[in-house]
Amino acid sequence: MNKIAIAIHGGAGQNSEFIEANYDAYLEGLKAALEQGYALLQKGSSALDVVEATVRILEDNPLFNAGKGSALNSNGKVEMDAAIMDGKSHAAGAVSMVTQVKNPISLARKVMSNTKHVHIAGYGALELAKLNQLELMPEDYFIVERQINDLKEEKSYGHGTVGCVALDASGHLASATSTGGISNSLPGRVGDSCMIGAGCYANTQCASSCTGDGELIIINVIAHRVALLMELKGMPLQAACDNVIRNIDNPINGDVGMISVDVDGNIGFSFNCDRMHRAGIDHSGNMVVDIYEKGSMLRPDK
Amino acid sequence: MNKIAIAIHGGAGQNSEFIEANYDAYLEGLKAALEQGYALLQKGSSALDVVEATVRILEDNPLFNAGKGSALNSNGKVEMDAAIMDGKSHAAGAVSMVTQVKNPISLARKVMSNTKHVHIAGYGALELAKLNQLELMPEDYFIVERQINDLKEEKSYGHGTVGCVALDASGHLASATSTGGISNSLPGRVGDSCMIGAGCYANTQCASSCTGDGELIIINVIAHRVALLMELKGMPLQAACDNVIRNIDNPINGDVGMISVDVDGNIGFSFNCDRMHRAGIDHSGNMVVDIYEKGSMLRPDK
């Protein structure tokens, strides 16, 4: 069989008491999603199917800020964004301001495969979900206590965006990203997760998914920049990720993180903050499941 | 005085009888907007102020597909997108699914300067417009006969997106793009014009605005790709534009065009289709106002 690889994230940002209190549950959630995605790759599923299926698992897990467990905007409402991109064809689908749809990533896939558009927002996205008979849930399905508290206390640990990148046995790459946005955002705020080139990008060389301060990810067009550092400068994957995320000469003034996979099955993880919930299995079957940096004082197992 | 330069576009795509019949009016509209923008630069206005003011003029001109004259979606409704980016600070603002707001580019500017977000869509954008006391118009203000006919006849000459890029006397660059989208699109469709890196991008080296088949501009992240060809490969501006838009080895399978200006006041125009409504004045004061390609059989003055 050809090389396969997968990586996922569940957000990057500052540490919080909630994360510390749920450390084991987060690791378990990451590992479960990773292993299910990897099993699909082993069975020969396409990268595109795998990133969608894996992100659905993370959307259904209320610990993460996507699908169930999404952040609440300043009106106390959930509005979700998601995007998916096929590295082989460069086809992409994205949705924003999504309500009611249990799995926004699957709606993004429908935009890609069933419309002539790349991005559909708001009521148009909901109409498309109904037309495609996607599962809808009442608004309170998405709302969890942690997010109610974050909004009340004007805290935002909302950086729990999820994402998945994969290389399949046919040598194709794909990326998927899904988010509930940020706590206390203005209504209608659209973040990086659904922006092709910013929070989600894939081509024939690499696939990336980003998380963190979305506005910084948008203006730095981070996922596309990593791809072009590889294409135009011949940089290896991890170096390209670090060049963008942890560049000392040209720092990003906020919390950002990214996961990437290249066509050889290498995995890149890079973040410039306390933690990035992440997991991956590379071309050699090496597994990583982690939250804090190696050596960080924040690690319970330090 | 330091070098100044400005370029504008009013869409790229196929030729049409409407364009032929209104050839002189289009040239006049382009020239008027260009000269007003240039006069502001000569008075020392910032690139950011100039691109906003110039795009407002084009939005108000019913010949172009932005503001008054916007395309109608499949529900017969106008939903507009716009983005603005400051090359100096990399700050950006964008709006999508905008209704009622006379000048969406000014709303994008408000997102940039008055919120912590980059992109606000739909009802959230309208709320922000009201909060900032931007001028609102009834829905029928935006609708013109040409667009009603295009929707009826299922034609889309809707590629009349407008944009402006400028270099000011302080050496700063900015880009602005505004559109009414495409005729007969699905409701909620969001195009490239409001996507930072796709239809609008500016940094300290160059500023670009794109037009044409928006979905192709999004998945190719065109404006950002031109910027990185300059940054990472040292390509001159026009060569970088042509490398993306007219690349024979890696063609874009649809109609696209772009305008760019670099920090030396060079102007780049590139399109791969019948026409791009365009105008510019470069560092030496050389003026171009044109629609078809030089030497094209479509030119009335051929």
pLDDT of residue A144: 95
Q: In the numeric block, which tokens belong to residue B198? A: 């796709």
Per residue in B230-262, pLDDT tens?
999 999 999 999 999 999 888 999 999 999 999
Q: Facing residues of B261 across strands?
A: B207, B267
Query: What pTM was computed for the model?
Result: 0.97
For chain B, the 3-state helix, strand and coil shares in percent, each to the nearest 5, are: 35, 25, 40
Query: Distance between CA atoms of B261 and B81, rounded to whole angstroms?
Result: 22
Q: Is A179 a catalytic residue?
A: no
Per residue in B69-123, pLDDT tens?
999 999 999 999 999 999 999 999 999 999 999 999 999 999 999 999 999 999 9
Q: A267 lies in which domain range? A: 5-12+29-66+76-286
Query: Distance between CA atoms of B220 and A34, rounded to whole angstroms?
Result: 29
HSE, side-chain direction, 13 A CA sphere, residue A158: 30
The dihedral region occupied by A120, where left means phi > 0, alpha psi between -120 and 50, and beta the remainder, is beta
Per residue in B154-188, pLDDT tens?
776 656 899 999 999 999 999 999 999 999 999 99
Given a contact cutoff of 8 angstroms between Cβ atoms, the answer to whether A96 and A195 are in contact is no
Runs of H (alpha helix) within B22-67 = 23-42, 47-60
**CB pairs A-B closer than 8 Å:** 139
Please check whether residue A93 lies inside any domain of the structure: yes
Per residue in B4-45, pLDDT tens?
999 999 999 999 999 999 999 999 999 999 999 999 999 999
Please check whether residue B192 lies inside any domain of the structure: yes
Runs of H (alpha helix) within A22-103 = 23-42, 47-60
Q: Amino acid identity of A101?
A: V
Please check whether residue A89 lies inside any domain of the structure: yes
pLDDT of residue A302: 47
Please check whether residue A152 lies inside any domain of the structure: yes
Q: In the numeric block, which tokens belong to residue A64? A: 């993460």
What is the complex's ipTM, to 2 decimals? Answer: 0.96
Mode of pairing for the β-strands spanning B119-121 and B92-98: parallel
pLDDT of residue B2: 85
Query: Distance between CA atoms of A133 and A143, rounded to whole angstroms?
Result: 22
Please check whether residue B296 lies inside any domain of the structure: no
Runs of H (alpha helix) within chain B = 17-21, 23-42, 47-60, 104-114, 122-131, 139-142, 145-152, 214-219, 222-233, 237-245
Q: How many other C-beta atoms lie within 10 A of the C-beta of residue B153?
A: 10
Site of tokens 């082993």: A42
| 3 state DSSP class of B113 | helix
* Numbered residues of chain A with Cβ closer than 8 Å to any chain B Cβ: 85, 90-92, 94, 96-97, 115-125, 127-128, 185-191, 195-198, 201, 214-215, 218-221, 224-225, 228-229, 232-233
CATH number at residue B143: 3.60.20.30
Angle between helices B47-60 and B104-114 (to 10 degrees): 150
Which residues from chain B sit within 8 angstroms of residue A186, using beta carbons? 115, 117, 120, 124, 127-128
Residues counted in chain A = 302
- CA-based end-to-end distance of chain B: 38
Number of domains in chain B: 1
Please check whether residue B133 lies inside any domain of the structure: yes
Which residue from B186, B70, B183, B96 is spatially nearest to A126, judged by alpha carbons? B186
Helices (H) and strands (E) in chain A — how many of each? 10, 13
Min Cα distance A22 → chain B (Å) is 30
Output the CA angle B202-B225-B233, nearest 5 degrees.
100
Q: Please give the C-alpha separations between residue A165 and each of A47, A112, B53, in angstroms, as whole numbers.
A: 8, 17, 42
Q: Which of A73, A221, A229, A243 to mutate to test the interface with B (most CBs of B within 10 A)?
A: A221
Of A94, A188, A232, the CB nearest to B125: A188
* Numbered residues of chain B with Cβ closer than 8 Å to any chain A Cβ: 85, 90-92, 94, 96-97, 115-125, 127-128, 185-191, 195-198, 201, 214-215, 218-221, 224-225, 228-229, 232-233
Please check whether residue A291 lies inside any domain of the structure: no
Q: In the numeric block, which tokens belong to residue B107? A: 């709303």
Tens-digit pLDDT profile for chain A (302 aa)?
Answer: 689 999 999 999 999 999 999 999 999 999 999 999 999 999 999 999 999 999 999 999 999 999 999 999 999 999 999 999 999 999 999 999 999 999 999 999 999 999 999 999 999 999 999 999 999 999 999 999 999 999 998 776 656 899 999 999 999 999 999 999 999 999 999 999 999 999 999 999 999 999 999 999 999 999 999 999 999 999 999 999 999 999 988 899 999 999 999 999 999 999 999 999 999 999 999 999 999 987 677 766 54
Please check whether residue B299 lies inside any domain of the structure: no
Given a contact cutoff of 8 angstroms between Cβ atoms, the answer to whether A100 and A136 are in contact is yes
pLDDT of residue B161: 96
Given a contact cutoff of 8 angstroms between Cβ atoms, the answer to whether B156 and A254 are in contact is no
Query: pLDDT at residue B301 above 70?
Result: no
For A123, the enclosing helix (H) or strand (E) is helix A122-131
